[in-house]
Amino acid sequence: MQNTQLREILSEAKDLIAKAASRSETDEARIKFLGKKGKLTEILRSMGALGPDERKALGKRANDARAEIEAMLARKFEEVKAAEHALRFSAETLDVTEPGAEIRLGAKHPITRTIEDISRIFMRMGYSVTEGPEVETVFNNFDALNAAPNHPSREFTDTFYVTKDTLLRTQTSPVQVRTLLSQAPPIKVISPGRCFRVDTADATHSPMFHQVEGLLVDEGVSMADLKGTLDAFAKQMFGSDVKTRFRPHFFPFTEPSAEMDMSCFKCGGRGCRVCKGGGWIEVLGCGMVHPNVLRVGGVDTERYTGFAFGMGVERLAMLRHGIDDIRLFYENDMRFIEQFG
């Protein structure tokens, strides 16, 4: 009886597989005959009631039938797969005369461009570029920079604290400390990077901004060297006709300290909207590195002196490109960014 059933199953399988016109129909035929509840599977399960000799003979014929059905299925799968590919390729035509899609080149962000321009100017003066972490220790951000314990910048209203001893750096000056701790003089570095301060975003303020810190430590360094360096920077950045002046100021980490102004590059000092009629524009803070800061790095203050400066990248970019709202830098409006391409 099982032999008759095997012949009928094999004949039925040949007809069904031959008629299959797709991979799904071919798979349905596979399940019908070879699946867990398939017809050939049921024959194999019924062999347990047979004697040893009959089971052996039927098993051989059933396995031969399975092998034949599997071979037919394999051929059919390849056949329908090739047919489906041919149909898809005939439907998907390619017009080689049609213009291709335009590939638009991106534009560097004006903040990136400004940092690169500043870096190039100082690298031509022999400075190297170094960076530091944005999450800093209170020691590097305040203590090592000679900030008094009651300095207002330490308050929660000014600084983003992560833990009691760590914070989002409020300036790039902690890189100055890290450099003094890891490198012996002579030192000549700049360090661009992001900084964070508690502030309300408006046209001229942002809780996240960029600075470029500069540090030079060597024998015989004087305030005259600082003024000459920054004057040369201003002329290369804004034009050879720019003049600079230095006003006394106070920073905990420098002594003496100063703020540098430059003559308005738009009006030449006559007074305009950019310089608010004064003819001068405040650009950066600077000064001679305080001996207390040098001592943190183990620098011999009897032998070495140094100067440091820090400038706001957004401010320089706004001045250079005539941008009147700092928020434009962070709104990701491609119409704005593409102007600098």
Say what the pLDDT of residue 74 is.
85
Q: Given this model, what pLDDT does residue 1 score? A: 53
Whether 84 has a pLDDT exceeding 70, the answer reads yes
Q: What percent of the chain has pLDDT over 90?
A: 54
Position 2 pLDDT exceeds 60: no
Mean pLDDT of the chain: 88
**Topology of domain 110-340, CATH:** BirA Bifunctional Protein; domain 2 (3.30.930)
- The residue ranges of every structural domain in the chain are 2-91, 110-340
Lowest mean pLDDT among 41-55, 70-84, 211-225: 41-55
Selection from 236, 237, 280 nearest residue 262 by Cα: 280
pLDDT at residue 8 is higher than 80: no
Quick check: pTM over 0.85? Answer: no
pLDDT tens sequence across 272-281: 777 778 889 8
* Mean pLDDT, rounded, for 204-227: 95
- Predicted confidence band at 162 (pLDDT cuts at 50, 70, 90)? very high
What is the reported pLDDT for 106?
A: 78
Least confident of 63-72, 141-150, 156-165, 190-199: 63-72
pLDDT in tens, 301-331: 999 999 999 999 999 998 888 888 999 999 9
Asked whether the predicted pLDDT for residue 226 surpasses 60, the reply is yes
pLDDT-derived band at 25 (thresholds 50, 70, 90) equals: confident
More confident residue, 20 or 45: 20
Range 255-269 average pLDDT = 87
